[in-house]
A and B are shown apart, each in its own frame.
Chain A
Amino acid sequence: MPGAAARVLIVEDTPTQAEVARALLRDLGHEIRVAETGTAAVEQTLAWRPDAILMDIELPDFSGFEAMRRLRAAGIETAIIVVTAHGSVNHAVEAMREGAVDFIVKPYAKTRLTVTLQNALEKRALATELREVKAQLSRDRFFGFIGASPAMQAVYRTIESVAASRANVFITGESGTGKELAAEAVHRASPRRAGPFIALNCGAIPRDLLESEIFGHVKGAFSGATENRPGAARMADGGTLFLDEIGELPLDMQVKLLRFVQTGSFQPVGASRPEKVDVRFVSATNRDPWAEVEAGRFREDLYYRLYVVPVEMPPLRARGADVALVARHFLAAFAKEEGKRFRAFTREAEAALMAYPWPGNVRQLQNVIRNIVVLHEGERVEAAMLPPMLLRTGSGRAPVSMPMAAPPAPPPPPVAAPPAAWVSARLEPTAWPEPVEEVPPPAMARRPEPEPEAPPPAPWAPPARIEDFLPLAEVEKRYILAALDQVAQDVPRAASVLRINPSTIYRKLQAWRAEEGTG
């Protein structure tokens, strides 16, 4: 602030005094306003937010000290210089006690006033800068993120640094570390924030639909293309296109994407002319992108186009106390959502959460907390409410499975005629899964290859004979369990597929488990 134009409020009830101060400060180029009463001083400060105040003590309505108290109560941190005709020590002491940065006695020389004001502004600027730096170093929220660990602070700083530029961003990290959240943060911190943020999961789209999903198609481009349809590229115009699981993109699509990244132009499927858009690319993968290049599965030229600013999302196990921070956040959110009383974790429960390595990262932690909230009651989460695998890993050995609402199950039998033991076998011991003993994936482990050759699911058909119909509740139970099997027991995902609330599944699992116990 020193040297730059500042806002200065002169609080003075005698116009001659105010005019003298205004004239003496004119050379500095500051914007100056005058308030003649304590009330006006408080109102103008709240509305105008001056950088400094020259505060007379004897005002018509109440003293300048009282005005300072009111401003401090309102959270105002303006640099206040007390101006008085009484150069007594008592006044100076009281001024400092009320938060003044300096004290000046009337009448004052120009140099005295300007130096005092500039010192006060400089001190305030330094204090503000220090506070901002401290806040940045210790912030535990950043857009959608929760975390105060050094690893996350580094992520926040990188995102902030890159957000303003047009540079493409490449986010890496294990599943569940928040890659899409990071992509959204890049978008929301950027000048494109008012534009669209379009996320496309390249691994979730059938190969033959990928081109249409990215670039769109025109009516008649292929059978079923009954009308023009814009793709993600067009929809992201003026904003950010997030290509999640970019490593899953087939090589032929990588060529088309490369052209799009290079030129900003693309051709919708079936279109005769290219279209041009203004898009910033943010890509993400849980694989090692360079290893993919070396393995020939990812084009090197596309790699260099997209991998401009890398952002590596740390795994939850590398984020220290963030585990507790995130767990508390989820606990509060889910308790509110589910109408439960949970407020905190016991020390033992929190220690168990901290000791567990969380191979499924934040998403896994989220599932665990959701499950606890749905299945239990109380104000504090006890260690006994945690899944057994968390309690067994106090030694720090890294188990590798995701906590699930039910243990891993064999491939689901046909819904129409499941073996009677199938349901109970998976609900019998506990709602928590046993850890699967396998080597934990490295930080950029390759995901299992998608199975494009898998046949599409057969349409459901009702039983041919009336005696084969099952009670509706039984069908619902089997159907939900089958869905859970298909998504590796990921309850929120299964709920999404079934278009129901995850808590519905949790409640039903609890009820079925109770039935098993009584039956």
Chain B
Amino acid sequence: MQATIAFPAMQVVDRLVAECHRFEVSAIDPDIAGQLASELPLEDFVRIVRTFEDDLGRLARQLEAAVASGDQDGYRRAAHSLAGAAAAVGARRLEHVARLGMDHRAQVDPRTIALHVQHEARAALAELAALADNPPGAF
């Protein structure tokens, strides 16, 4: 489906991410990701992180393709799935960015969203990998 996407409030995400960085909010929620890392066997946690990585790659491509083709529905579906995947592992910054993409009232530039998704996905994966290497309770 081809549609014109308007994006007047393009600084919203930048501001949000900047605030996160200013207050040193980590890419992942330690309550959620930490709990998964501490409660599950390592192989299960690693499997979840790998599944998340696969999801990110697939959904980011879908998101970018939807942006390039102006497919509004495809764009929102990809953003929705990204938000769900991110929430499952506690990747809260990525989730927030994806939810902005889902919210048609925010009218954020999809290209900005796509860029920030890439950025936050890398940050979340890095922190999850670190968590897998050194789960809470380990010493």
| Chain A residues in the interface with B (C-beta under 8 A) | 13-17, 19-20, 23-24, 26, 58, 60, 85, 106-107, 109-110
Bound Cα distance from A19 to B80, whole angstroms: 17
Contact A16 B51 (CB under 8 A): yes
Q: How far is the CB of B74 from chain A (nearest CB, A)?
A: 11
Bound Cα distance from A14 to B86, whole angstroms: 10
Contact A106 B87 (CB under 8 A): yes
Q: Which of B32, B35, B48, B77 contacts A19 (CB 8 A)?
A: B48
Q: Which of B35, B36, B47, B84 contacts A14 (CB 8 A)?
A: B84
Contact A16 B55 (CB under 8 A): yes
Q: How far is the CB of B63 from chain A (nearest CB, A)?
A: 14
On chain B, the residues within 8 Å of A106 by CB distance are: 84, 87-88
Kindly state whether residue B133 has any CB partner on chain A within 8 Å.
Answer: no
Q: Which of B36, B54, B83 contacts A20 (CB 8 A)?
A: B36
On chain A, the residues within 8 Å of B45 by CB distance are: 23
Q: How far is the CB of B75 from chain A (nearest CB, A)?
A: 14
Bound Cα distance from A514 to B136, whole angstroms: 99
Kindly state whether residue B90 has any CB partner on chain A within 8 Å.
Answer: yes
Q: A14-B85, A20-B36, A24-B40 are in contact. Are A107 and B47 (CB under 8 A)?
A: no
Bound Cα distance from A26 to B43, whole angstroms: 12
Q: A23-B48, A58-B80, A60-B77 are in contact. Are A16 and B85 (CB under 8 A)?
A: yes
Q: How far is the CB of B23 from chain A (nearest CB, A)?
A: 22
Q: Which of B47, B80, B84, B87 contacts A23 (CB 8 A)?
A: B47
Given contacts A24-B39, A106-B88, 17 further A-B contacts (CB under 8 A): A13-B84, A15-B51, A15-B54, A16-B48, A16-B51, A16-B84, A16-B88, A17-B84, A17-B88, A23-B45, A23-B47, A85-B83, A85-B84, A85-B87, A107-B32, A107-B87, A110-B35
Q: How far is the CB of A87 from chain B (nearest CB, A)?
A: 12
Q: How far is the CB of B66 from chain A (nearest CB, A)?
A: 14
Contact B89 A16 (CB under 8 A): yes
Bound Cα distance from A106 to B39, whole angstroms: 17
Q: How far is the CB of A410 from chain B (nearest CB, A)?
A: 91
Q: How far is the CB of B126 from chain A (nearest CB, A)?
A: 17
On chain B, the residues within 8 Å of A60 by CB distance are: 77
Q: A19-B47, A23-B44, A26-B44 are in contact. Are A109 and B84 (CB under 8 A)?
A: no
Name 18 A/B residue pairs within 8 A (Cβ), A-sorted.
A13-B81, A15-B51, A16-B48, A16-B55, A16-B84, A16-B85, A16-B88, A19-B47, A19-B51, A23-B36, A23-B45, A23-B47, A85-B83, A85-B84, A106-B88, A107-B32, A107-B87, A110-B39
On chain A, the residues within 8 Å of B89 by CB distance are: 16, 20
Contact B88 A107 (CB under 8 A): yes
Bound Cα distance from A58 to B80, whole angstroms: 9
Q: How far is the CB of B22 from chain A (nearest CB, A)?
A: 25
What are the interface flags for B74-103 relative to A under an 8 Å C-beta threshold, 1 for contact and 0 otherwise? 000100110111011110000000000000
On chain B, the residues within 8 Å of A16 by CB distance are: 48, 51-52, 55, 84-85, 88-89
Q: Which of A14, A23, A109 contacts B55 (CB 8 A)?
A: A14
* Nearest residue, chain A, Cβ from B52: A16
On chain A, the residues within 8 Å of B80 by CB distance are: 58
Bound Cα distance from A20 to B128, whole angstroms: 14
On chain B, the residues within 8 Å of A24 by CB distance are: 39-40
Sorted nearest first, the 8 A-B pairs with minimum C-beta distance are: A16-B85, A23-B44, A14-B84, A19-B51, A16-B52, A17-B88, A20-B88, A16-B88
* Nearest residue, chain B, Cβ from A109: B35
On chain A, the residues within 8 Å of B52 by CB distance are: 16
Q: How far is the CB of B45 from chain A (nearest CB, A)?
A: 8
Q: How many A-B contacts are there with CB distance less than 8 Å?
A: 56
Bound Cα distance from A17 to B51, whole angstroms: 9
Bound Cα distance from A109 to B83, whole angstroms: 18
* Nearest residue, chain A, Cβ from B51: A19
Q: How far is the CB of B77 from chain A (nearest CB, A)?
A: 7
Question: Taking each of B32, B55, B84, B85, which has the highest tally of chain A beta carbons within 10 Å of its own beta carbon?
Answer: B84
Contact B44 A14 (CB under 8 A): no
On chain B, the residues within 8 Å of A19 by CB distance are: 47-48, 51, 88
Question: Taking each of A16, A26, A58, A107, which has the highest tally of chain B beta carbons within 10 Å of its own beta carbon?
Answer: A16
Bound Cα distance from A366 to B134, whole angstroms: 81
Contact B85 A17 (CB under 8 A): yes
Bound Cα distance from A109 to B81, whole angstroms: 20
Bound Cα distance from A13 to B52, whole angstroms: 13
On chain A, the residues within 8 Å of B88 by CB distance are: 14, 16-17, 19-20, 106-107
* Nearest residue, chain B, Cβ from A58: B80
On chain A, the residues within 8 Å of B47 by CB distance are: 19, 23
Contact A107 B90 (CB under 8 A): yes
Question: Taking each of B45, B48, B54, B80, which has the highest tally of chain A beta carbons within 10 Å of its own beta carbon?
Answer: B48
Bound Cα distance from A20 to B90, whole angstroms: 11
* Nearest residue, chain A, Cβ from B89: A16
On chain A, the residues within 8 Å of B77 by CB distance are: 60
Q: How far is the CB of A63 from chain B (nearest CB, A)?
A: 13
Q: How far is the CB of B54 from chain A (nearest CB, A)?
A: 7
On chain A, the residues within 8 Å of B51 by CB distance are: 15-16, 19
* Nearest residue, chain B, Cβ from A23: B44
* Nearest residue, chain B, Cβ from A17: B88
Q: How far is the CB of A23 from chain B (nearest CB, A)?
A: 4
Bound Cα distance from A85 to B80, whole angstroms: 10
Bound Cα distance from A85 to B98, whole angstroms: 13
Bound Cα distance from A344 to B40, whole angstroms: 66
Bound Cα distance from A14 to B48, whole angstroms: 12
Bound Cα distance from A28 to B80, whole angstroms: 30
* Nearest residue, chain A, Cβ from B59: A14
* Nearest residue, chain A, Cβ from B55: A16
Contact B48 A20 (CB under 8 A): yes
Bound Cα distance from A58 to B83, whole angstroms: 12
Bound Cα distance from A13 to B83, whole angstroms: 12
Q: How far is the CB of A246 from chain B (nearest CB, A)?
A: 66
